[in-house]
A and B are shown apart, each in its own frame.
Chain A
Amino acid sequence: MQSANMLLRKIVRSSVLPFAAQHGMKKDLFPLSRTLSISLCLKQDKSCEPSEKLDLDEWKKVMKSGLQEEVSETVSEPEELSSLAAARETLEMWRLAGRAVPDNISEEQLKTFMECPSKSAKKKYLKYLHIRELHKKNDKRKMDEKRERRLEAQDQASNTDETKKNSFLFLPSSTMDKAYLWRAAQSMIFGQPLVFDMSYEKEMSVREVTNTVRQIVMSESCNRRAVDPFHIHFCNLKDDSLYHREFIKNYKEAWGKLLITVTDQCYTEIFPKDKLIYLTADSPKVMKKFDHDKIYIVGSMVDKSIKTGVSLARAKRLGLETAALPLEKYLLWNTGAKNLTLDQMMHILLTLKDTADWRKALEFVPKRKYCAFVNKPVKELKKTLDLINTIRRGKGREEVENQFAKNHPKRYKLK
C-alpha cells in the first residue's frame, strides 16, 4: 500500500504537476494529491498516538517526503534557461509570493516586462497587467451571466404566447446610425470646425498615446451623436505615427469611413490665424463665452507627469490666441489638476455650442474635482472658501495658511 502510494505521488509530482502549473489546472489536480497525503499522514498519526505529543517538525517531513524522489529527476533536466523562460520563472515566484502579477502573460508582454528599466517600473507594469486581467475576467463573467439570463428569458417567451405584437414603430440601430451619419455629413459641409492637435507624440509615453487615442475615439462618438456636431479635424497627424497606428487599432476598417477631416497639415495652414483659439489650462486668459465663429484647438495629449506649459508653448510659438475654461469662476475647486480629459472637453464644448450655458456645460467636469457651483463674484467666493476651510479644519488652519504663504510666495504671485 505504502509503495503504491509512493509511486502515485511520484507520478503526480514529477510529471503532472509541472504540466498543470503551466496550464493553470492546478486546482483541479490538487484534491488528488491532498487525499493521498492525508491517508499517508493518518497512518503516521496512529503510530505516535500513545505519546499524544505534537511533532513540531512534522511539516518538514511532509514537505520533503515527496521531494526526495524529485531531486534525482530535476538533475537531469536541462538547467540552462533562456532569458524569457527565466523571466517567466521569476514572475511565477512573484505570483506565489502574493504580489500583483497577472495569471497569464503573453510573449510580447513578457518582453516589455524585461525591457522595463527599473524594478519599480517592472512592478508597475505587472500591476497594470494584473488589474487589466481582473477587469477582463469580470467583464467576461458578466457577459456570460447576461447571456444565460437572456436564454432563460427566451425559453420562457417561447413557452408563452408569441403573437403579442409591439404597437411601437421599430427603429433598428442601423437607422439611427444612418441619421447620425447624415448629420455628420452635414457638419462636414456646414459645421463649425474643431481641431485636435496631434503633435504631442514626442511628449508622451506609449501608454499615454494609447489613452489619448481612446479619449479621442470617445469624443468622436459623442460628437457623432450630438444634435449639431462639430466638423472634427485631426491636424498634424503623420502617416504611420503612433497616433495613426493606435487609431487604426481602435477603429479597424471604419477608420477610412469616418466623417472627419484627417490631415498632416498644421491648423495654421488650413485656417486663418486670427480665427484660431488654442484651449489650454495654462492659458492666462479665461474664456468668457463660446464663439461660434472661432475655431477651437484642443491638444491631443494625456499628461500623467504634469508637464506644465507644453501646449501653451506651442500656441506661443505659433502666435495664437489661447484660452482656458472658466473653472475657477463657476466652480469651487476642490482637488485635481485643471486639465480635463479630451472627451470631457468635447462634452463641454458641445453643450456650450448648443446652449451657451456654462453651468450645464461644466456639469461634465468630474464631481470629485469641485465642491460646488458658485455664482457669486470672486471676492465672496474667497470668503466662502475660507469659511469652509475653517469649518473643516478648525482653528490653527490660519496659521498653517500663513506659513504656507510665507514659504511659497510664488503661488500668490499671479493672483
Chain B
Amino acid sequence: VQPPEKPLQAEEWNKLREDFQLPEIFEEVMLNNMIRCNSPIDVAKSLLTHLAKRNGDIAYNVLVKYLTLCVQQGQVSEIHDVYDIMKVRFKILESGAYNLLIKGLSNSDEWRMALTLLEEVKKIMIPSRTCYESCIKAASRHQEMKLAFELYHEMLAKDVVPTLDVLQSFFNFSRGMKGAELQKQLFGILLYLRENQIYPHKTFMRSIKLWFESIPGGNWRGNLTNIKDSGQCPVCKHQLEDSNLTEEEYSNLSERIIRDVIHGTDTFRKTSPKEFEAFQTFVENRLPFDIVIDGLNVSHMKSRKMQCENLFDAVNCLAKENARLLVLGRKHMLMNSSNWKREIMKEMQNKADFFFAENISEDDAFLLYATLRSGKHCRFVTRDFLRDHKACLPDSLTRHLFRKWQRGHQIAFSFSSVFSQQPALRYDCVVQTTGDTWHIPYKDVFEEKYSYEVPRKWLCIQQK
C-alpha cells in the first residue's frame, strides 16, 4: 500500500484499513511503508492518533516504528516525546528502541542525553556497537575527545568490535588539535589496526594523512606510494619490516600447528599416530628442505595435461637452483594409471624427496609440519588457501601469525601457459612505524573482498 501524502481523518484511515486484506497488521505494514517512502511525520502522527482513539493504547512495536521514522528525519522533539511515553509505560526497553533513541539524540544538540541513555542500557545489557558508535561520534564532534576515547576503551574492554567508521571519526575530528595525550591515543588506534591486521580503506587513509599533516609543529608529510618487491619504500627509502616471524612467534606457531591442526581432538581424524611418526622420522632424517610441494594440488594445475606431467613441470621448474625439494602425495599416485605414469614418477623421485601418505589422510597437515620444521628459509607450494587449517587454530592471535607466516612462505603458481611463480612477500604487510615514519597499507575500496589478498598500495608518512 502507498502511504497517503497528507494526514487523514479517522474515517479515512478506517476505510483504508477495511480495504486492506489483513486488517490486523494494517498499521504495521503502513508504518513500514512510511519508513521506506520517508513519508512526512504528520501522516504517521495522524495514524497514531487514529489508533489511540480506537484502542486507547498504542502497541510497543508500533511506537518503535514511529520512532524509526522520527530518527530517520531527525525530529528531535518527537524523539523526546516518544521516549517520555515509553519510559513511563514500560519499565525497560529493548535494544532496538535504545539503538534508535541513542542514534536519534546523538545527532542533535542534546547528545548528552544519548550518553545518559547509554548508561541506562549498560545496566541491562552490553550496548551494541552502533550505540557506542553514535555516542563516540557525538562526543568527538563536540570536541570532547577525552570522553570519546573513554567510551572507545570501554567498548574494547567489553569485546565490542569498533567499526572502521568510529576509528575514522577520531582522525577526522582531531584534525589540527594539539596535545601529547591525544596524539598518543591516535597512535594507539594505528597500533590497533596493526595488531588486528586491519587495512584502512581509501577515505580512512586520507583522514589519517590529513590528521598527520595537520598536527601543529609536527612537520609530517604523507605520500601515496607502491612498495617494491624488495620491500623498500620509494619515497623515504626506508626498508619495511620483513615478513619473518620472531624466534618466539615461530616456535609458538609450529607448536600450535602440530597440536591443533595435526592432532586436534583426535589424531586419527587427519592421519594416524603411526603414520605421523613415520613421517616425522622421514622428515628428521632429510632436513632441511628449501621448498615443500603439495604434489596433488600442483598436479591439477592444468586440466588438459596429465596430472603427473603437471607435477613434473613444477618440480623441474623449482629444482633448478639446487634447492632441496620435498613432494607430498598420496599412495594412489604410485599406482600406474592413466594420470600417473610410473616412469615419470621414477624420474621425479631422483630430483626430489617424496612422501606418500595414506589415501584417506590429509596431506596438508604434513605440508605445514615439514615446512615449519625445516626452518624460516623454507617455503611451500600450493594454491590452496589453507583456510580450513587456519580455522583449526583456536585464537585470533595465532591465526594472525599463521596468516603472516603464510604470506611470507607460500609460493603460488599462476595459470598462464608457462609456469610462473608468484613470489612470497618478503616484507610484512601491516601498519608499521619507526617513530619518525609510518607506513600504512590501504585498500582502494571499502569492502574487503578476499581476506587473503593484501593491499599493494601504501601511505608513507615521514617527519621532516
Chain A interface (Cβ within 8 Å of chain B)? 30, 33-34, 36-38, 40-41, 54-60, 62-64, 66-67, 70-71, 86, 89-90, 93-94, 96-98, 284, 308-310, 312-314, 316-317, 402, 405-406, 409-410, 412-414
* CB–CB A89/B91 < 8 A: yes
Contact B88 A70 (CB under 8 A): yes
Q: Give min CB distance, A281 to chain B, whole Å.
A: 13
SS class, residues of chain A in contact with chain B: helix
Cβ of A27 to closest chain B Cβ, rounded Å: 12
A205 to chain B minimum Cβ distance, whole angstroms, is: 15
Instruction: For the complex, give the distance between the alpha carbons of A317 and B269 in Å.
Output: 9
Docked Cα-Cα span, A70 to B87, in Å, equals 12
User: Among residues 59 to 82 in chain B, which have CB atoms less than 8 Å away from a CB atom of chain A?
Assistant: 59-61, 64, 81
Instruction: Please tell me if the beta carbons of B49 and A59 are within 8 angstroms of each other in the complex.
Output: yes
* B51 part of interface (Cβ distance < 8 Å): yes
Query: Knowing A309-B269, A316-B272, A409-B300 touch, does A59 contact B58 (C-beta < 8 A)?
Result: yes
Q: Are A90 and B125 in contact, with the CB atoms below 8 A?
A: yes
Q: Which chain A residue has the least Cβ–Cβ distance from B123?
A: A86
Chain A min CB distance to B351 (Å): 23
Nearest first, the 10 A-B pairs at minimum CB distance are A37-B56, A313-B268, A96-B60, A409-B300, A59-B52, A62-B52, A93-B94, A56-B45, A59-B48, A313-B269
CA–CA, A317 to B271, complex, Å? 10
B94 touches A56 (CB 8 A): no
The residue in chain B whose Cβ has the minimal distance to the Cβ of A282 is B360
Q: Are B359 and A97 in contact (CB under 8 A)?
A: no
Query: What would 4 more interface pairs be, CB under 8 Å, given A63-B52, A90-B94?
Result: A56-B46, A57-B81, A62-B53, A96-B59
CB distance from B334 to the nearest CB of A (A): 15
Is B236 an interface residue when CB atoms closer than 8 A count as contact? no
Assembled-state Cα–Cα distance A60/B55 (Å):
13
Give residues 89-112 of B contacting A (CB, 8 Å): 89-94, 96-97
Q: Which residues of B contact A86 (CB under 8 A)?
A: 92, 124
How long is the Cα–Cα vector from A33 to B55 in the complex, in angstroms?
Answer: 8
Taking the complex as formed, is B178 at the interface, i.e. its CB lies under 8 A from any CB of chain A?
Answer: no
| Sample of 22 A–B contacts (CB below 8 Å) | A34-B54, A34-B55, A38-B54, A38-B56, A57-B49, A58-B52, A59-B45, A59-B49, A59-B53, A67-B88, A90-B92, A90-B125, A93-B60, A93-B93, A93-B94, A94-B94, A96-B90, A97-B64, A309-B269, A313-B266, A405-B303, A412-B300
Q: Is B5 an interface residue (CB 8 A)?
A: no
B169 in the interface (beta carbon within 8 A): no
> Which single residue of chain B is at the shortest CB-CB distance from A322?
B360
Query: Is B147 on the interface with A (CB-CB < 8 A)?
Result: no
Contacts of B359 in A (CB 8 A): 284, 414
When distances are taken between beta carbons in the complex, the residues of chain B under 8 Å from A317 are 266, 268, 272
Bound form: Cα–Cα A90–B91 in Å: 10
Residues from chain B with Cβ under 8 Å of A66 in the complex = 56
Chain B nearest CB from A48 CB (Å) reads 12
Which chain A residues lie closer than 8 Å to B58 at the CB level?
59, 63
User: Which listed residue (A34, A55, A71, A405) contacts B56, Cβ 8 A?
Assistant: A34
Find out whether the CB atom of B45 lies under 8 angstroms from the CB atom of A93.
no
The reply to whether B297 and A409 contact each other, CB–CB distance below 8 Å, is yes
Instruction: Give B270's nearest chain A residue, CB to CB.
Output: A309
Is A310 touching B88 in the complex (CB atoms < 8 A)?
no
With contact pairs A38-B53, A62-B56 given, residues A409 and B383 touching in the complex (Cβ less than 8 Å): yes
A36: B residues at CB distance < 8 A:
56
Q: Which chain A residue has the least Cβ–Cβ distance from B384?
A: A410
Q: Closest CB of chain B to A67's CB: distance in Å? A: 5
Give the residue name and chain of the A residue nearest to B43 (CB): A56
Q: A34-B55, A34-B56, A63-B85 are in contact. Are A55 and B49 (CB under 8 A)?
A: yes
Q: Please tell me if the beta carbons of A413 and B296 are within 8 angstroms of each other in the complex.
A: yes
Q: Is B42 an interface residue (CB 8 A)?
A: yes
Of the residues B45, B61, B360, contact of A96 by C-beta under 8 Å: B61
Please name all residues of chain A whose beta carbon is closer than 8 Å to the beta carbon of B336 when the two chains form the complex.
none
Q: Which residue of B lies closest to A37 (CB)?
A: B56
In the complex, what's the smallest C-beta–C-beta distance from B144 to chain A, in angstroms? 29
* A413-B300 in contact (CB<8A): yes
Task: Kindly report which residue of chain B lies nearest to residue A315, judged by CB atoms.
Answer: B268
Q: How far is the CB of A382 from chain B (nearest CB, A)?
A: 15
Flag if A60 contacts B81 (CB, 8 Å): yes
Q: Do residues A90 and B124 form an inter-chain contact, with CB atoms below 8 A?
A: yes
Query: B9 on the interface (CB 8 Å rule)?
Result: yes
B269, A63: Cβ atoms under 8 Å? no
User: In the assembly, what is the distance between CA of A53 and CA of B85, in Å?
Assistant: 24
Q: How far is the CA of A94 from the CA of B42 in the complex (A)?
A: 28
Chain B neighbourhood of A94, CB < 8 A: 94
B302 to chain A, nearest CB (A): 10
Give Cα distance in the complex from A98 to B68, angstroms.
15
- Per-residue contact bits, chain B 14-45, to A (CB 8 Å; 1 contact, 0 not): 00000000000000000000000000001001
- Cβ-closest chain B residue relative to A308: B269
B304 to chain A, nearest CB (A): 11
A97 and B49 alpha carbons, distance in the complex (Å): 20
Chain B contacts for A414, CB-based, 8 A: 359
Considering the complex, give the chain B residue whose CB is closest to the CB of A32.
Answer: B56
Rounded to whole angstroms, the CA-CA distance of A97 and B97 in the bound complex is 9
Shortest Cβ distance from A130 into chain B, in angstroms? 16
Q: What's the minimum C-beta distance from A78 to chain B, rounded to whole angstroms?
A: 12
Q: How far is the CB of A322 from chain B (nearest CB, A)?
A: 9
CA distance A279 to B219 in the complex (A): 72
By a CB distance below 8 angstroms, the chain B residues around A59 are 45, 48-49, 51-53, 58
Q: Please, which residue of chain B has its CB at the minimum distance from the CB of A283?
A: B360
**Is there a chain A Cβ closer than 8 Å to B57's Cβ?**
yes
Residue of B nearest to A70 (CB): B88
- Contact check, B49 vs A310: say whether CB atoms are below 8 A apart: no
A40 to B55, CA, bound (A): 12
Chain A neighbourhood of B9, CB < 8 A: 54
Contacts of B54 in A (CB 8 A): 34, 38
Is B3 on the interface with A (CB-CB < 8 A)? no
For residue A160, give the distance in angstroms from its CB to the closest CB of chain B. 44
Task: Verify A54–B49 contact, CB threshold 8 A.
Answer: yes
Interface membership of B162, Cβ < 8 A: no
Residue in A34, A38, A97 whose CB lies within 8 Å of B60: A97
